[in-house]
Amino acid sequence: MMRYWTAGESHGKALIALVDGFPAGVELDTAAIDAELRRRQGGYGRGGRQRIETDAVDVLSGVWQNRTLGSPIALQVVNRDYKLERLGDLERPRPGHGDLTGAIKFLGSIRGVLERASARETTVRVAAGALAKQLLREFGITAFGYVVELGGVAIPPREGAHSERLAWREASSIYSLDAARDAEIEKLIDETGKAGDTLGGIVEVRVDGLPIGLGTHTQWDLKLDGRIAQAVMAVQAIKGVEIGLGFEAARRRGSQVHDPIRFDESQRSSTALGYVRPTNNAGGLEAGITNGQPLIVRAAKKPISTLRKPLDSINLGTKLPEAAAYERSDVCAVSAASVIVENVVAFEVARALTDKFGNDSLVEMQARWNLYHEMARQR
Ligand code: EPS
């Protein structure tokens, strides 16, 4: 099974991702991983830490002559701002962070919790996802994330070819698909920052080129929608996940929700095998199985919990009321969340791909992919 774990503290020596079960024979492109890491560091409204760090991946294992070996791949990103041993504890837990719950649960310090709870950890989740994308690329599958709402302001995604959408996102300082809205959003972020407050938002990920048949209906923990929801919900500060219409589906009648099925002989050679759908309200998943339509996932990110104008809290020692602690933070990291969610979704899709086509070697996966599509066209 393809899976990964991460290790590392926000101000520790380094962050590590250990990717296990990644197939052999995939050409490694570390520059592409670094480009994702750089994107994660960007977006208007980020804090001072990103001026200190220049995140870059070091591949410590699992690769020979620039190709994966099928053995565990250890990815490392070193923290320039390594200072953990010099940092003291906090006494005033920040509402919304793990400070209070973690310190009580582990009968220990706030520092020991916040260092691991910090979204800095997402650096190596992005590295693992960017690696997974290199497997997806071999099958023509792309994952693409963008911001669709920030601070309550909707920025509807524009429809276009993949290359157009890439260019639109590239042009936007907040990674939306409509740079014409940037100035308005930047102003909102500036004003919020001046007020000592923070902003959340909604990001969307679109995966194109999927075959019919990734994931399965047969067991709850293997359903691809469930796996994606877990991976996305487990990103720091994410409070909601939707697939396709999501919550809106609950408000409509069945006839206005489900995507009619048609067959178009001329599209038989596509990954959707000619089964075309005039709408994609299901967001590419039916019964936990991909249906050949683009996968559409949305995630709601709450505003960062470290506030320069802190909320009421208590002193853990005295239990008396005091303002929550403030440590350097970002006003808005919704753009970064679009990169993180894109990459964690990419990993789950790659995992489902290996569940279906095997995870020993790329060549075997490709042969099985071709055989499956040949057989499915006969169905
Ligand atoms: C982050 C690094 C952190 C924060 C942020 C995310 O850097 P520092 O704590 O050194 O300023 O900017 O962390 C949080 C949002 C959090 O809640 O801890 C990063 O690299 O993404």
Counting from 1 in the atom list of ligand 1, the atom nearest the Cα of 236 is 17
Residue ranges around ligand 1 (CB below 6 Å) = 10, 47, 49, 81, 97, 118-120, 123, 304, 306, 327-330, 333
SS3 85: helix
Integer Cα distance of 141 and 137 in angstroms: 5
Q: Which of 79, 120, 326, 340 to mutate to test the pocket of ligand 1 (most atoms within 8 A of CB)?
A: 120
Integer Cα distance of 290 and 209 in angstroms: 11
Q: How far is the CA of 42 from the centre of ligand 1 (A)?
A: 12
| 286 bridge partner residues | 289
The pLDDT score that the predictor gives to residue 327 is 80
Integer Cα distance of 3 and 46 in angstroms: 30
Q: Which of 329, 334, 338, 343 to mutate to test the pocket of ligand 1 (most atoms within 8 A of CB)?
A: 329
Counting from 1 in the atom list of ligand 1, the atom nearest the Cα of 81 is 10
The pLDDT score that the predictor gives to residue 355 is 98
Integer Cα distance of 115 and 48 in angstroms: 17
Identify the structural domains of the chain with CATH numbers, from first to last: 3-376 (3.60.150.10)
Counting from 1 in the atom list of ligand 1, the atom nearest the Cα of 333 is 15
Integer Cα distance of 87 and 85 in angstroms: 6
Whole-model pTM above 0.85? Answer: yes
The pLDDT score that the predictor gives to residue 139 is 98
Counting from 1 in the atom list of ligand 1, the atom nearest the Cα of 117 is 18
For the stretch 336-361, pLDDT in tens is: 999 999 999 999 999 999 999 999 99
The conformation of residue 324, written as its DSSP 8-state character, comes to P
Q: How far is the CA of 49 from the centre of ligand 1 (A)?
A: 7
The pLDDT score that the predictor gives to residue 263 is 97
Residue owning the nearest CA to atom 10 of ligand 1: 49
Collect the ranges in the chain with pLDDT lower than 70. none
SS3 157: coil
Q: DSSP readout, 330-377?
A: -SB-HHHHHHHHHHHHHHHHHHHHHHHH-SSBHHHHHHHHHHHHHHHH
CA distances, 233 to each of 78, 84, 196, 341 (Å): 26, 28, 27, 9
Tell me the two tokens of residue 287.
Answer: 């019964």
Integer Cα distance of 101 and 261 in angstroms: 48
